[in-house]
Structure 1
């Protein structure tokens, strides 16, 4: 806190210095009526932040206080109470000049203003290697200090995003200074506020020091990690010796294997029928059946049949609980059973597994009072968390159970969380899914009031005919592990996730207004994480919103990131014309579609894009729409990207690659037959609530003016 009167020690932490200066003035101003003493502590050697050694501190003449000295000075200050503001110093009398403390006593190093070179512009491989080693070293330092797993640290994320304040930065800088035996200006961490930019600056300013100190240190740590020394077991109290987890090498981009898939989408009750639907280029969009909501509506949608059936006995639930529950919770629970069996696992084998459950979904379920009063466990009927918790409870899974709602990108944001947990070793497997069911007409009415609902039975994207959204529903799931774990367990691998990235549009003109730069950024981030070049990606499963403007922006973003130089043909498609927009299940529908395409090595037809959009001529670009089912011809391994841009601005982007067996290996896990389910129609039909909104008005005939529809359903 002595930085409050010594400007050079306040560099880079002006807020902290100002707060201490204010405390000094406050204590002095109230010295007559309040027993306040403001102590301007210098550096403590044995405790606190640890000993700081720098040229600036040396010039003050202040020596570091030992604990015994500091506590003795504190006793003296408290007993004498002679001053409101006091600096307890053990000085170096050859340097100590108290009258100069308020002066700027050293000049900034001219080297501090040296801009760092672009890593792309440097052709020196040694410098690039040093930059890589320095970045890894900084990640280690920040990880140890912040108690964050290295795999969870993004090198391009600002320090403050991890809760770093000026005091923590001072501690970090102290370690860096001691290692490279330099005195770095503390303000530099505020100027270059990410690990990536700070590493580049360090290499440009202290190349020699880093070469001598950092590389040797990393090399030594690397050898230690490969061949750890033998340690004697340490007794933990009266218990057994602590069991250490298997050490995993640091790998920021460890591939993630999809080892199981399952889904129920419109026109496709199984994974196989979903592949048939998209491979044949068919649409499952149709009028919403009257029995769905209890009245004949003018709406179109992609809907699933037999939602009211469920085997409560198999899933160990009472029928009264099931009647009160959100149908979405029942759908994901049943689908999770199919998922484990598709991956080749029985319930007995996964019991107690360190597996997480990440479900993208939104529950606004309000059970009727009669059903709720009969339920044995009414909490399962009203808690959104039970969309995921029921799965963990039934299968006895011990990883985290999370429901994620970021609108359309929910499932892929959940997947991104699962990937981080897998790479950090927190879990061994993850169930990732998305669900959205149209059990009321609320979504249709909301989209209609926003002017976003298409009143036709065809959903067009990237097309002049685009006229809004046709809603859909569905549930889909994937089971994922790290590739290394999947190989170890003998799993079948259907596709590999190379990278995932998530960001937000930030402030835009409205919650559904896209941010072109944010879309580019999320694509670029995922591409860089994957280690792929833009031309390696030969297909993109696009978001496609059904609005000419937003579709145009997405095409421009894709072209800018993936084909700005015209390298190779890039196919585009979207599953929405097949099944509608399944809301929170959109991302998982796209992922399962792409995984099946990669598994079959086939591109499938895109059911729109026939009429050229204004202001974008796709024929003048390297982009094209896949219009027929053809073999996926790729120079290397077929690789695809997936866009998912949500209302509210949370964008997700994935890079997914086909799996190729490099060596012969025993595959012990293959799809198992499902147990027989006695699915009884125990759920009540949805009726009156939606029908009441029509108030027995006669519905306008098809083809009536939009104004009449609006008046009727307002």
Structure 2
């Protein structure tokens, strides 16, 4: 479900690290073609009646479906530098877990979510104190948001005394809606741009944070406005979470591309210019349909004509072979 695209990124990275493949295209797309998703989510009480996703806000009352497509080209760093590809960031580690048995599909397991975050950090060789941004799943629900924050606190409280600054967190769902199957990929795209430029985009519709989060006693701060990277002087590292409706949890750790290796590799290949379409009309105007002519009635003789004489009948002949 919602973690599908981030799980695909995890599986692609695992295959790349094992050397099974040389490159991968991973991501997701979400297109709402009819009213069925709205009817189903409305019946489940999952949609926000205000049409706004207020993730981590006191007013959180449901999510807002969105449409979009995010596709990532993944290659080993040495191969991307060798081939002249533009490198937007480096995926250092990833992990996938499952909730197991819970009270229901809509009730996540904070322990399983925390395990996904911890395993991804371990795979990346990073400590929680090195992470300056978390792109949370943040669907904007009264139950899911506090449970997700509890999972993050479980991991990031372990070395909070070693932190040089706060960890900014938020959810891109407040900006573009919940892209369902593509939700994890668009969150990863936001994190890649953040570590590349050192700017954390704002999380919207969060004027009054949910008091159940207890932000004052945590290493986190909500990025409700555009913020500079909170850990100056350290490599920019971000975490991306995506949790599925059925309990599949994914977390990816992404960092800025190493500047010294980019400089040593030389200039990067630029994007191709936009395609120029020459639109021409290749059809003819259809002529106006003509009115069909009414059939003329057959002439009727005033007097009965004398029937013609019957033609003589020839005898029937049969041949057997």
| TM-score normalised according to structure 1 size | 0.37
- Report SS of the residue matched to 2:207: coil
Q: Which residue of 2 aligns with 1:505?
A: 99
Alignment of 1:259-408 (within 5 A): 407-408=1-2
Q: Which residue of 2 aligns with 1:636?
A: 234
Of the candidates 657, 663, 667, which is equivalent to residue 267 of structure 2?
667
- Report SS of the residue matched to 1:500: strand
Higher share of residues assigned strand: 2
- Report SS of the residue matched to 2:260: coil
Report Cα offsets for 1:415-454 as digits up to 9, x if no partner: 1111122112222111112101111111111100011111
The one of the two structures with greater contact order (alpha-carbon pairs below 8 A, sep at least 6) is: 2
Contact 1:477 1:588 in 2 (8 A): yes
Of the candidates 445, 455, 458, which is equivalent to residue 52 of structure 2?
458
Contact 2:10 2:252 in 1 (8 A): no
- Structure 1 window deviating more from structure 2 (460-469 vs 557-566): it is 557-566
Change beyond 3 A, Cα 1:563–1:670: farther
Contact 1:432 1:478 in 2 (8 A): yes
Aligned residues: 274
Of the candidates 472, 477, 495, which is equivalent to residue 66 of structure 2?
472
- Listed as ranges, the gaps of 5+ residues in structure 1 are 1-406, 681-714
Contact 1:494 1:658 in 2 (8 A): yes
Change beyond 3 A, Cα 1:547–1:428: same
Change beyond 3 A, Cα 1:679–1:551: farther
- Report SS of the residue matched to 1:528: helix
How many Å apart are 1:608 and its aligned residue? 3.5
Distance 1:490 1:468 in 2: 44
How many Å apart are 1:594 and its aligned residue? 1.0
Distance 2:82 2:211 in 1: 52
Report Cα offsets for 1:609-653 as digits up to 9, x if no partner: 322324332122221011222321423111000010010011100
Q: Which residue of 2 aligns with 1:654?
A: 252
Of the candidates 200, 208, 220, which is equivalent to residue 603 of structure 1?
200
- Report SS of the residue matched to 1:612: coil
Q: Which residue of 2 aligns with 1:592?
A: 189
Q: Which residue of 2 aligns with 1:616?
A: 213
Distance 2:65 2:190 in 1: 18
Change beyond 3 A, Cα 1:489–1:508: same
How many Å apart are 1:490 and its aligned residue? 2.2
How many Å apart are 1:554 and its aligned residue? 0.7
Q: Which residue of 1 aligns with 2:19?
A: 425
Confirm whether residue 446 of structure 1 aligns to residue 44 of structure 2.
no
Distance 2:26 2:100 in 1: 26
Alignment of 1:525-536 (within 5 A): 525-536=119-130
Contact 1:414 1:432 in 2 (8 A): yes
Change beyond 3 A, Cα 1:419–1:611: same
- Listed as ranges, the gaps of 5+ residues in structure 2 are 281-321
How many Å apart are 1:483 and its aligned residue? 0.7
Change beyond 3 A, Cα 1:612–1:630: closer
Of the candidates 555, 575, 582, which is equivalent to residue 179 of structure 2?
582
Alignment of 1:522-601 (within 5 A): 522-567=116-161, 568=163, 569-601=166-198
Distance 2:230 2:47 in 1: 37
How many Å apart are 1:526 and its aligned residue? 0.3
How many Å apart are 1:565 and its aligned residue? 4.4
Distance 1:414 1:679 in 2: 37
Distance 1:431 1:566 in 2: 36
Contact 1:535 1:563 in 2 (8 A): no
How many Å apart are 1:457 and its aligned residue? 2.4
Distance 1:517 1:485 in 2: 37
Higher share of residues assigned helix: 1
How many Å apart are 1:666 and its aligned residue? 1.9
Report Cα offsets for 1:186-230 as digits up to 9, x if no partner: xxxxxxxxxxxxxxxxxxxxxxxxxxxxxxxxxxxxxxxxxxxxx
Distance 1:510 1:677 in 2: 51
Contact 1:429 1:481 in 2 (8 A): yes
Report Cα offsets for 1:571-623 as digits up to 9, x if no partner: 11110111111100101110111111111111111113322324332122221
- Report SS of the residue matched to 1:640: strand
- Report SS of the residue matched to 1:433: strand
Distance 1:570 1:601 in 2: 13
Change beyond 3 A, Cα 1:679–1:647: farther
Change beyond 3 A, Cα 1:661–1:616: closer
How many Å apart are 1:679 and its aligned residue? 8.7
How many Å apart are 1:668 and its aligned residue? 4.4
Change beyond 3 A, Cα 1:559–1:448: same
How many Å apart are 1:409 and its aligned residue? 0.8
